[in-house]
Structure 1
């Protein structure tokens, strides 16, 4: 966290830059003039990449170390006196990371990346909020890959489709944007975060679509914006991004005299460096745009993940947790909207599949007194015929279909269960039109029944809900508006009251929610999926419902063979405070992941230890 705060301070200091049309009179050091790429280092030294290799110079211009190699595409990340550099070997097109020891004046090659499967034209680094270093590789034909590195590990995160004819790219870490220069068209901005579907913005396009002459060349990231040379490298464009829009200042004429596509830009302590036929020249910056000051969210790592869905696309939706007398034998239930209900063990291995149709939400209650005996049940909404499906759960954790009930709804969606203190079991189901129905589930002579107890409605589309059996409150999510609460007792209804509106802490859509029941008098918490920004909100489960914090789920590169990616665009989630042993001694949170990475694959569910959430948010 300290490092992230330091980065924000550095960004704020850099944000005082701007542009003057006057070339600075003081020339750059002579040794820089043959370099194809330049990077100013802390303390005044330089990294220079030329046709003979990578060179490290101190502030007095003395060469301290070098790596002999034919290379191109130098990019760096600097954190205090720690410097990471990556270049592309020209012959193999293989990315090679290098650490720079400023105190010892040494360059050290790290383990290279695997050979590329396509012709790499551009590469650039990205350091994410988790402080993990990523590398984007882009081919001339638009093929692209995102890799993550940690120590000696090099892992493919995802494949991307980017524009063809890209020779330059840079990443704005603060804005989490990958900027690519499409030579014959212009500059595009993509989401650098791998989780999620991704978005694209046009930054600057060639005429007649924009102001660039002939397309785009080299890029340099500025705080809150970007500097771009046009394709002929004779005009410099400066663009700022504010409130989701890109605005350009007046273009400036430059005299670089380089071939189309051979231009280069770099940033140096308040100056913009431009490479031309006769070496590098500099221009003073008086840049007024500010980097977005986004407070970092806590990040927790998943401990395990389930096997992927057997269906591609938007398939996984909502999980539930069944507890065994032996904690290690607990089961996670997960719906597949294209197939049915799946069951997993605590290692994420699938133990059962019930192909019963397009199930959406699922919930579990145990030790229910029905028909004179104790039973464990799971209920789910089936969208094929707008019914409630009921499953019985054996002591072994095996499920089987027990019954189904018509609801009369036209587009059934979410559901949750309620176990009143007086006994029995009740189910809340909802429709996309905002209708909620509450059913009492009964059993006589071995047959289950469902009796409608009440109906009510919210103004717009709901989905997720959870009932707190201890307090008798129902919490429900209206996707575009926020989280409401009302009495879960059908005989004592009360008006809906807003608990957490969409706003600073919650980004639409409001999706899954669950209750963490504190043990031995400890507080209980409501956990809500903030789908719009792939985060999770934790608030008190009792009035006044104070927000305790927000977090995201990041990568765990140490888990499993390939590591585990984070979560994004979550639909459903579930949590238990029961001691499931090991990392889950304080409980477990199960989260649906909208996009499976490391590598790409069908959706699945991630397991998060509650101890990690509690530690990250400083919960009681």
Structure 2
């Protein structure tokens, strides 16, 4: 989610034991790198623009996932959330294939549903046989929804197989759901030891992450059960001995959205938007480690209720040097030799940062890039919310694999109407940029 820095309030909360773990990250020399100093890659295609207004169906591009058609890679799909616009499915030419509406939320105003993030589960055993599923976080109902993927199904490749009795993820009742502190960020994971599939879900405006086991039912639908929940810190002890929390609206804590699990070692990476990137076990046991901080980490701020804006104070220099708030769009680039990168969207400066996957290297920063415009009609990516990468041949169009990124400001614009979409980037150009 792109949240303006104008909507933050200072929350000073007692430092927890988890916050102490963040102190393992040493303070770095504080400087701001220029967007133009990183190598540029350009998109090969873009999806049709989505408009977040009544005329445009209140659709807002957010998070993509790439489904590979093993039998015909050139007929693979990109499945993406459009928030109140539901789900969108695109082919590799970025053309729409299917649109699925988000179920209306149940509330006083019967507000529309809102699909936030999406990920994939491969080969889940249903009563009708094994199937690939698209999983999305439904903010409007505080639930997960599941869609079976069948590329050649008449009417579109996605079929809703969500069990009607699937419970709320976080909320105890409808009143809490109406407050919209509901299911938000999402990452899926299949444990190779047990073969069980899981979803990790974060909570809007809270620091919670919960682990859900994905469960097929006897009737062919899919539900889930809660395994455990972990709360990341909301307050941090700075090197000068003071306590700090990012400026936010009253009663709003620094949330997590972007998440991804490394299947090679069961490691979850979670982007706490105004804090940085955490590394922790995907089963939510053990102690999280903050592997990098946003540049704004430690900067004080004062919230003004009249203007609904934050006034930042002097930067004490305790932040990182590679990513700017919000940090989002985490995705994993896996190479054939087992190496690869964790990619993270740095919304504050419109760039992407790459970190080594190797835990022994402490997820060392390996470089970055930006997605730049091709011409006046095919622009780049700004304030990227979600990203997905697949390092596998996808037919003649993307023989080197594909990176899909959200563009928070598609251009050319359409007056004052918010405009977003998704950019498709040849992964070969990204690898070249990171190798420079």
1:89-141 CA-to-partner distances (Å, cap 9, x unmatched) read xxxxxxxxxxxxxxxxxxxxxxxxxxxxxxxxxxxxxxxxxxxxxxxxxxxxx
Describe the superposition over 1:233-262 as per-residue Cα deviations: whole angstroms up to 9, x where unpaired: xxxxxxxxxx9xxxxxxxxxxxxxxxxxxx
- Structure 2 counterpart of 1:535: 351
> Quick one: which of 202, 208, 214 aligns to 1:430?
202
Which residue of structure 2 aligns with residue 375 of structure 1?
131
Superposed displacement of residue 615, structure 1: 0.8
User: Would the alpha carbon gap of residues 382 and 345 (structure 1) be closer, same or farther in structure 2, given more than 3 Å must change?
Assistant: same
Contact 1:371/1:442 (8 A) holds in 2: no
**Structure 1 residue 395: deviation in Å?**
4.0
CA deviation string 1:352-375 (max 9, x = no partner): 000023100111122234558311
- 1:198 is displaced (CA, Å) by 12
Q: What's the counterpart of residue 262 of structure 1? A: none
RMSD: 2.5
Task: Trace 1:219-618 onto structure 2 (pairs within 5 A).
Answer: 296-309=37-50, 311-312=52-53, 315-324=60-69, 325-356=71-102, 357-370=113-126, 373-396=129-152, 398-403=157-162, 405=166, 406-409=168-171, 410-421=181-192, 422-431=194-203, 432-445=205-218, 446-459=220-233, 460-489=254-283, 493-502=285-294, 503-519=320-336, 521-543=337-359, 544-557=362-375, 563-582=377-396, 584-600=398-414, 602-618=419-435
Is this contact kept in 1: 2:35–2:350, CA < 8 A? no
CA distance in 2, matches of 1:566, 1:366: 31
Q: Distance in 1 between matches of 2:63 and 2:79?
A: 8
Q: Is the 8 A contact 2:350 2:382 kept in 1?
A: yes
Q: Runs of 4 or more off by more than 6 Å in structure 1?
A: 196-199, 292-295
**In structure 2, the residue corresponding to 1:603 is in which secondary structure?**
strand
Higher Rg: 1
Aligned 8 A contact 1:368 1:423 in 2: no
Alignment of 1:213-224 (within 5 A): none
Change (3 A) 1:588 1:475: same
Relative to structure 1, the CA distance from residue 447 to residue 508 in structure 2 (aligned partners, 3 Å threshold; closer, same or farther) is same
Consecutive unaligned residues in structure 2, runs of 5 or more: 6-29, 103-112, 172-180, 234-253, 295-319
- State the Cα distance separating 1:470 from its structure 2 match: 1.8
Q: C-alpha distance in 2, partners of 1:338/1:384?
A: 9
Aligned counterparts, 1:45-124, within 5 A:
none
CA distance in 2, matches of 1:310, 1:354: 16
Q: Which ranges of structure 1 fall in alignment gaps of 5 or more residues?
A: 1-195, 200-242, 244-291
CA shift, 1:310, in A, is 5.2
CA contact (8 A) 2:342 2:354 kept: yes
Once residues 191 and 327 of structure 2 are traced to their aligned partners in structure 1, the CA distance between those partners, rounded to angstroms, is: 26
The CA distance in 1 between the partners of 2:4 and 2:261, in whole Å, is 34
The verdict on how the C-alpha distance between 1:371 and 1:468 changes in structure 2, with shifts beyond 3 A counting, is: farther
How far, CA to CA, are the matches of 2:91 and 2:34 in structure 1? Answer: 42
**1:408–1:299 CA distance, 2 compared to 1 (3 A):** same
CA contact (8 A) 2:357 2:363 kept: yes
- In 2, the alpha carbon distance for the partners of 1:582 and 1:365 equals 25
Distance in 2 of aligned mates of 1:293 and 1:331: 34
Q: Give 3-state SS (helix, strand or coil) of 1:605's partner.
A: strand
Aligned-partner Cα distance in 2 for 1:470–1:522: 8
Cα 1:197/1:340, change in 2 over 3 Å: closer
Q: How big is the shift at 1:413?
A: 1.3
Aligned equivalents of 1:524 and 1:346: distance in 2? 23
* Residue 401 of structure 1: how far off its partner (Å): 1.2
The answer (yes or no) to whether the contact 1:587–1:609 under 8 Å persists in 2 is: yes
1:168-188 Cα offsets, whole Å, 9 max, x none, are: xxxxxxxxxxxxxxxxxxxxx
Question: Could you tell me how far apart the structure 2 residues matched to 1:479 and 1:400 are?
Answer: 32
d(CA) in 2 for partners of 1:553, 1:545: 23
Do the aligned residues in 1 keep the contact of 2:35 with 2:370 (CA within 8 Å)? no
Aligned length: 326
SS in 2 for 1:449: strand
Q: How far is the alpha carbon of 1:314 from its aligned partner?
A: 7.3
Higher relative contact order (CA 8 A, sep 6+): 2
- Give the TM-score, by structure 2 length: 0.70
Q: Determine the C-alpha separation between the residues in 2 that align with 1:424 and 1:348.
A: 33
C-alpha distance after superposition, 1:32-73 (max 9, x if no partner): xxxxxxxxxxxxxxxxxxxxxxxxxxxxxxxxxxxxxxxxxx
